[in-house]
Amino acid sequence: MRTEFAKYEGAGNDFILIDNRGEGFTPDPRLIARLCDRHFGIGADGVMTLSRSAGTDCAMRYFNADGSEGEMCGNGARCFALFAEHLGIGGERKRFTAADGLHTARILRTEGTGGLVELGMTEVAEIRRGDGWWFLNTGVPHYVEFVRDLDTADVCGRGRAIRRDTARFPQGTNVNFVRILRDGAIAVRTYERGVEAETLACGTGATAAAIVTNFACQPAVLRYDVAVPGGTLSVRFSREAATEHYSDIRLTGPARRVFAGEFGTEDF
């Protein structure tokens, strides 16, 4: 069976997008992992399918590069919104469901095969603090640690160990190392659960890092420029004073269709 797909990237975080409104594609974990393999497959940090949804423009299912199904992916959801735009689904504002609930995305600008997309994220109600680290859920679980030198941070080594520290994080966690550049500006490197490696960007991680920076260091700052290896993202939010409750969280950044093609499931 042949399946059409499109490859998108958001700040270097890359994804395979499949229009599954006809329900012809079955997302088997082994197939997903093979498609994402950068040597024997198409190569990607994850796969997303777009399907019909009652009451919203469409529904998103997200799968990690290892084949496991994920709850949410910030950069992936922005790419998903642009994919929907290219398919002619919805208006300037897209409403879609994901495993972590309802999301709204706004297409701020389009140019060629790319665009600038703002994504509404789930609210944060709790931030857990440990010895030099913070933990919160921005759609998926995230560990945040501040470092002096981001270039020498052992993202893969320490990130892998923390990600698998089920004593502290029973479901595993994404791991973010953060350097504060100035008020309203941070740099982040992320080890992603499910990809099991450092990625060039992580939208939910950038969001987690910005919120923790506000919570721990810069309570007056409500908007952040977040430098990641693949580019720059923007995070803004509202915070209920003297609480851990963050709402109206918006992640903004670029998204781009790289190419389109088709594959035969029998080849994988």
Say yes or no to pLDDT of 237 above 90. yes
Residue scoring higher pLDDT (100 or 108): 108
Query: What share of the chain in percent tops pLDDT 70?
Result: 100
Catalytic residue (one of 36, 73, 79, 156): 73
Alpha helices in the chain (DSSP H): 29-36, 74-86, 155-163, 203-216
| Lowest-pLDDT choice from 68-72, 124-128, 214-218 | 68-72
The region that residue 81 occupies, defined by phi over 0 for left and psi between -120 and 50 for alpha, beta otherwise, is alpha
Q: Is position 36 annotated as part of the catalytic site?
A: no
3-class DSSP state for residue 194?
coil
Helices 74-86 and 203-216, axial angle in degrees (round to 10): 130
What would the mean pLDDT of 109-129 be, rounded to a whole number? 97
Cα–Cα distance measured from residue 229 to residue 226, given in angstroms and rounded to the nearest whole number? 10
Closest CA to 183 of 133, 224, 135: 224
Does the pLDDT of residue 242 top 90, yes or no? no
Note whether 17 and 77 are within 8 A (CB): no
CA distance 108 to 105: 9
Judge contact between 109 and 117, C-beta under 8 A: no
CA distance 9 to 11: 6
Known binding residues for substrate are 13, 64, 74-75, 174, 192-193, 203-204
User: Is the pLDDT confidence value at 38 over 90?
Assistant: yes
**What per-residue confidence (pLDDT) applies to 205?**
98
**What mean pLDDT do residues 13-32 have?**
96
What domains lie within the chain, and their CATH numbers? 2-121+255-267 (3.10.310.10), 127-252 (3.10.310.10)
For the segment 164-220, what is each residue's pLDDT rounded down to a tens digit? 999 999 999 999 999 999 999 999 999 999 999 999 999 999 999 999 999 999 999
Task: Give the residue ranges of the annotated binding site.
Answer: 13, 64, 74-75, 174, 192-193, 203-204
Q: What is the pLDDT, as a whole number, of residue 268? A: 83
Rounded CA gap, 42 and 219, in Å? 43
Rounded distance, CA 208 to CA 74, Å?
Answer: 11
Catalytic status, residue 73: yes
Contact yes or no for 223/236 (Cβ under 8 A) = yes
Residues contacting residue 267 through CB under 8 Å, at least 6 positions apart: none
Q: Is the pLDDT of residue 63 over 90?
A: yes
What CA–CA distance (Å, rounded) separates 267 from 9? 24
Partners of 14 in beta bridges: 9
pLDDT in tens, 137-146: 999 999 999 9
Mean per-residue pLDDT over the chain, rounded: 96
3-state SS assignment for residue 267: helix
Contact 75, 13 (CB under 8 A): yes
pLDDT of 115 > 90? The answer is: yes
pLDDT at 266: 83
